[in-house]
Amino acid sequence: MKSLKRRKFTDKTARWVITIGGVTTVFIVLALLLFILLEVYPLFKDAEVVKENSYSVHGNVSALGIDEYQEIAYAVYTNGSVEFISLSNGNVLKKYEIAGLTDTVPTEQEDYPTDDRHTVLPVFLLEERRNDDEGHINTPLHHTTVTSSYKDNNRLILGTDDGKIVTVSVAFTETFNSEKRTITPEISKEETQQIDEKGKEIKHITSRKDEGIATTVVSTADDRLVLKYTEEITTLFGTGEKTEFQKDITGFINQSRQNTIFEPGSPPSGTMKPESRIEITSLALDQFMENLFIGTVSGDLFHINIRDKESPFLQEKVKVSHTAITALGFILGDTSLVVGSLDGRVNVWMQVRDKLLPSGTVLKKIHTLKPHSAPVMAIVPSKRDKSFVTMASDGTIHLNHTTSEQTRLYLHSPSLPTAVAFSPRGNGILAADVSNNLTFWGISNPHPEATLKTLFGRVWYEGYEKPEFVWQSTGGTDDFEPKLSLVPLIFGTIKGTIYSMIIAVPIGIFAALYTSQFLHKAIKIIKPTIEIMAALPSVILGFLAGLWLAPLIEKIFPAIVIMPLFVVLFIALALYLWRSLPSRIKGKYRYGIEALILIPFIIGAIYVSVHLSTISEFILFGGDYREWLLHVLGLHYDQRNALIVGFAMGFAVIPLIFTISEDAMSNVPNSLTSASLALGATPWQTAVRVVVPTASPGIFSATMIGFGRAVGETMIVLMATGNTPIMDWNLFNGFRALSANIAVEVPEAPIGGTLYRVLFLSALLLFAITFIVNTVSEIIRQRMRKKYSKL
């Protein structure tokens, strides 16, 4: 009675322990899946406005700017005055009058307002005071209007209606005292230049400066194009030399209407008839000061090469729009050029390599963004990524991203906009309109480069000749374009799995068949020995494969090629010798151990193959197998390649397939095998036609479990391949798998960043692949089991 109660208690306890363990396992798996989903979800969230404020300005704004912390903005008015505005309350913190542009006399310094967040310190005035003969202060007699502007980092270049350009530097510095941040706006005028001797209005302007070299290009009201180049050289002794020259390059865009072909550096005369001139609508100069792009009213885009400033030449003319080009702007890195047109279209163009052209490059449209419903007025790039802001004449403002071809946010200005600014961190947009409104939008746009297209589709990246699948998460410069396509990683995972399964499945299943049906019971200790192989750490296998097997295979590759032939020949020789032996000698050996005799023959075949490696390389590959593979088959041979992974990962998967398959075959009822033998079938016929079909559900399960192990394998793939994310079925190339990519990239991925979340997406894909494969394999196994259970 006590024994029965104890037994019931034990059964009840075991049932509860198993139930709790199963429920806990399911709960943990679901919790992990939920955690991964929560990390992946933000990747696909749209940008959003987190804050919106409106303020008033005091005139027609020509240019805007904003500090890094989005606390202070500045507005440059067409009358030449500059105001610093607090974005917390809209108060004007200070007003400046740029010398030579305004007709007001500067007032004395005022106390600067403060608030709880920041303190603004005073800066100096820019108005130049002139004394007359009696010592009185005179103010400028002529009022000059700002007609165009261009912002180059902290430099602000202003064009006027009398042919001048005024360069002003605006910067924000911050200091910290007692955990309080103090913002100090700093503004200084570099110089004023009369760039147009005729005094015509400056319609468009573009300028770049780097290490004392400055290049400025302007277009005037009469559609002349003027280039000004300045170079300042400072010697070791502190003395400086300044070189500058100015050049009218209008003829380079007008020469397309003439039959004459002009040599570089010798443009046609500037005395062309007015009706023959092309109306210029926009300008863009890259940061290298080598490529000048000019938009025209006819929709033609002119590319003038100004690498040699004294000898520029027209490199290319492309029809990019059927309507006028209204705005041009470079994306971060100055490789991609955004073109806005009169019909509201926004396209991205890039110089693509073309060996057939003398210049070696050709302009091609690589991205198309969602258009505006009105003419595009301005293009403002981000300083952090490939995002940019476009502003149209109807007040619509779009936040776009080049790589993903996605418009992330749609904003609208209360009235006709006159200027727009993009915050340095890419988290704020500032716009001014003709109704003297200043609108600020604080935005959240953490993952603009992650879309289904960029993750799983072909993307035309900067510097590439066509759209491709590319994974390259980091680069050597700040203007790097992340390439986060998961397709090469999925391809690498499939490639490594297929090559390892090609080796593991035949060996594992045939070894299990021989062990279960033919091997003598006295030596079935082989099975636990093989099972112990499954306990070998994958890091050890990867270490051996990468540092020992890969160099060895590279050295004796010709021997690997001829080895299957010699193994077959030596096995045939062993079979012939075995059959030639007298029956009395063969009778001394137990049934099922004949295969042991093959071991010395296989070792002999390997030995002969290795020693004939040099001769076979000379006969088969002309003395160098690497060169033969490259020139005959077009295949590159890498030391760590898919072949090495196939051997190493196959070695890791074989014990799983072997063990489960052998158990399935050994559990086939003896009645079936005995009946087959009784009906006259040979042991081999019985094994192939009775045992294997009956055990097929277990064999299939073994194969799927091995497949799952190969898909999720990390260390072998990480250490035995070159980890190059390329899409090539070449057996002698490396690859990068999803699991190995996670191991490589996670230590360098900023928490919460795009790369961090894309890696979690990779983990989710692995989870999904494993779940789908296991589910499908279980369904197939159940059907096979039902089918063969009737035998």
Residues in the chain, how many? 791
Strands (E), 78-163: 81-86, 92-97, 119-120, 130-131, 137-138, 146-152, 155-160
Q: How far is CA 338 from CA 116, 185, 325, 334, 350, in A?
A: 41, 31, 11, 10, 9
pLDDT number for residue 400: 95
Q: What is the separation of C-alpha 166 from the centre of its chain, rounded to a whole number of angstroms?
A: 40
Q: Quick check: 323 and 299 in contact, CB under 8 A?
A: yes
Name residues whose C-beta falls within 8 Å of residue 259's C-beta, 6 or more positions apart in sequence: none
Closest Cα to residue 117, out of 142, 88, 96, 97?
Answer: 88
Most confident segment among 89-98, 246-255, 497-506, 620-629: 497-506
Considering the domain 49-449, what is its CATH architecture? 7 Propeller (2.130)
Model pLDDT, residue 572: 92
CATH assignment of 487-790, among 2.170.190.11, 2.60.40.10, 1.10.3720.10, 1.10.10.60: 1.10.3720.10
The one-letter code for the residue type at 158 is L
Helix axes 754-788, 487-517, angle to 10 degrees: 30
Residues 554/642, Cβ–Cβ less than 8 Å = no
The stretches of 537-641 forming alpha helices (DSSP H) are 538-544, 550-555, 557-580, 583-586, 598-611, 613-621, 625-628
User: What average pLDDT does the segment 412-431 reach?
Assistant: 91
CB 388 within 8 A of CB 382: yes
Residues 11-29 have pLDDT tens digits of 889 999 999 999 999 999 8
Mean pLDDT confidence for 198-204: 89
Query: Tens digits of per-residue pLDDT, 737-758?
Result: 999 999 999 988 999 999 999 9
The rounded distance, in Å, linking the Cα atoms of 458 and 466 is: 9
The predicted model gives 566-586 an average pLDDT of: 84
Report the C-alpha gap between 284 and 294 in whole angstroms: 7
Phi then psi dihedrals of residue 107, to 5 deg: -90, 175
Cβ-contact 137, 130 below 8 angstroms: yes
CB 530 within 8 A of CB 655: yes
**pLDDT for 707-742, tens place per residue?**
988 998 888 998 888 888 989 898 899 899 999 999
The whole-number pLDDT of residue 255 equals 61
Token output for 644: 């090495």
- Check residue 586 and report its DSSP letter: H
Q: Is the pLDDT of residue 457 over 80?
A: yes
CA distance 89 to 774: 60
What are the pLDDT digits (tens) for 669-680?
888 888 988 888
Asked if 423 and 411 touch (Cβ cutoff 8 Å), the reply is no
Inter-CA distances, 482 with 332, 416, 459, 755, Å: 12, 35, 11, 9
Pairwise CA distance, residues 220 & 201, whole Å: 6
Q: pLDDT tens, 327-382? A: 999 999 999 999 999 999 999 999 998 887 777 889 999 999 999 999 999 999 99
Write out the two tokens for 407. Answer: 């418009």
**How high is the pLDDT of residue 116?**
39
Q: Predicted confidence band at 89 (pLDDT cuts at 50, 70, 90)?
A: confident
Q: Above 60 in pLDDT, residue 640?
A: yes
- pLDDT at residue 112 tops 70: no
pLDDT at 488 over 50: yes
- Sort residue 623 into left (φ over 0), alpha (ψ -120 to 50) or beta: left
**Residue 573 reports pLDDT greater than 50:** yes
pLDDT reported for residue 127? 38
Ordered by start, the domain boundaries in the chain are 49-449, 487-790
User: What's the pLDDT band for 587 if we cut at 50, 70, 90?
Assistant: low
- The confidence score (pLDDT) of residue 236 equals 63
Looking at this protein, which amino acid is placed at residue 367?
A: H
- Give me the residues paired with residue 202 across strands: 220
Span 396-408, mean pLDDT? 94
CA dist., res. 617 & res. 623, Å (int) = 5
If you count DSSP H runs as helices and E runs as strands, how many of each does the chain have, helices first?
A: 20, 33
Task: Read off the pLDDT band of 148 (50, 70, 90).
Answer: confident
The structure's pTM equals 0.85
Position 199 scores a pLDDT of 85
Looking at every residue in the chain, the average pLDDT score rounds to 85
Beta bridge partners of 379: 390
Residues 6+ apart with CB under 8 A from 270: 224, 248, 250, 251
Return the closest-CA partner of residue 76 out of 418, 398, 499: 418
**CB-CB contact of 200 with 194 (8 Å):** no
